């Protein structure tokens, strides 16, 4: 007869361990790409800023004052015109470098025909600064036979129209490079030959 096993004499085996495998997800590292993008954008903005600040632009001309010295219409020995105008022109340099201009040239015309021309001395305008240049245009004995009827009508109306053009040429030294620039302003000036006054003045840059 086989004896029955005594359950109390056996130690139960521990349960088999359960293993849990944890996998961690590492997202792709975009920081280097983002950093390169920000650096590129910053460099572009810096380049645009430097070009905007340093790239030279033309100076600004403004006719500040026009003074009529005298005007006279001569009928003998032939129909001619005597005229003298004094102009004060303001030159403004908007750049960050000084401006050297060779001269300021001023012409005066009547109904499209040039009457006279004057050229003043050159000068220097500091960065973001202004300078004032005087110029006087003198016309003596200019024959106006081609515009006889127009001139008679204008004198009778008390308003003789003249056109003035002020032109400045110079250069700006950008590091070791000399960059030529120029500016022009045109004005329409109506003069009363009877009382020697300026009736109307209109200026615009070109």
Q: With a cut of 90, say whether residue 130 has pLDDT above it.
A: yes
Predicted confidence band at 35 (pLDDT cuts at 50, 70, 90)? confident
Kindly tell me if the per-residue pLDDT of 114 is higher than 70.
yes
Contact (Cβ atoms closer than 8 angstroms) between residue 87 and residue 107: no
Q: Mean pLDDT across the stretch 159-170?
A: 90
First CA to last CA across the chain, in angstroms? 131
The mean pLDDT value for 88-110 works out to: 88
CA distance 28 to 19: 28
Whole-angstrom distance, CA of residue 80 vs CA of residue 74? 5
- DSSP conformation letters of 154-165: HHHHT-EEEEEE
**Looking at the whole model, is its pTM more than 0.85?**
no
Question: Based on C-alpha coordinates, what's the Rg of the chain?
Answer: 42
pLDDT digits (tens, 9 = 90+) for 68-96: 888 888 888 777 888 888 888 999 998 88
Between 131 and 177, whose confidence is greater? 131
pLDDT band at 31 (very low <50, low <70, confident <90, very high): low
Residue 101 has pLDDT above 90, yes or no: no
CATH class of 60-205: mainly beta
DSSP for 112-153 reads TEEEEEEEE--EEE-TT-EEEEEEEEEEEEEE-STTHHHHHH
Q: Which two structure tokens, joined as six digits, stand for 196?
A: 């020697």
């Amino acid at each position: 007869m086989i004896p029955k096993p005594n359950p109390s004499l056996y130690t139960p085996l521990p349960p088999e361990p359960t293993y849990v495998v944890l996998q961690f997800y590492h997202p792709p590292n975009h920081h280097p790409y983002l950093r390169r993008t920000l650096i590129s954008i910053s460099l572009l903005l810096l380049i645009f800023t430097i070009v905007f600040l340093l790239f030279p632009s033309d100076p600004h001309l403004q006719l500040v004052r026009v003074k009529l010295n005298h005007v006279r219409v001569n009928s003998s020995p032939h129909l001619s015109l005597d005229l003298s105008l004094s102009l004060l022109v303001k030159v403004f340099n908007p750049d960050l470098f000084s401006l050297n201009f060779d001269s300021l040239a001023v012409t005066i015309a009547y109904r499209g025909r040039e009457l006279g021309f004057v050229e003043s001395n050159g000068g220097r305008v500091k960065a973001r600064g202004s300078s004032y240049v005087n110029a006087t245009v003198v016309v003596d004995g200019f024959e106006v036979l081609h515009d006889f009827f127009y001139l008679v009508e204008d004198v009778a109306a008390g308003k003789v129209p003249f056109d003035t053009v002020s032109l400045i040429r110079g250069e700006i030294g950008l590091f070791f490079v000399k960059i030529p620039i120029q500016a022009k302003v045109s004005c329409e000036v109506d003069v009363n030959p009877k009382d020697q006054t300026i009736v109307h003045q209109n200026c615009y840059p070109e």
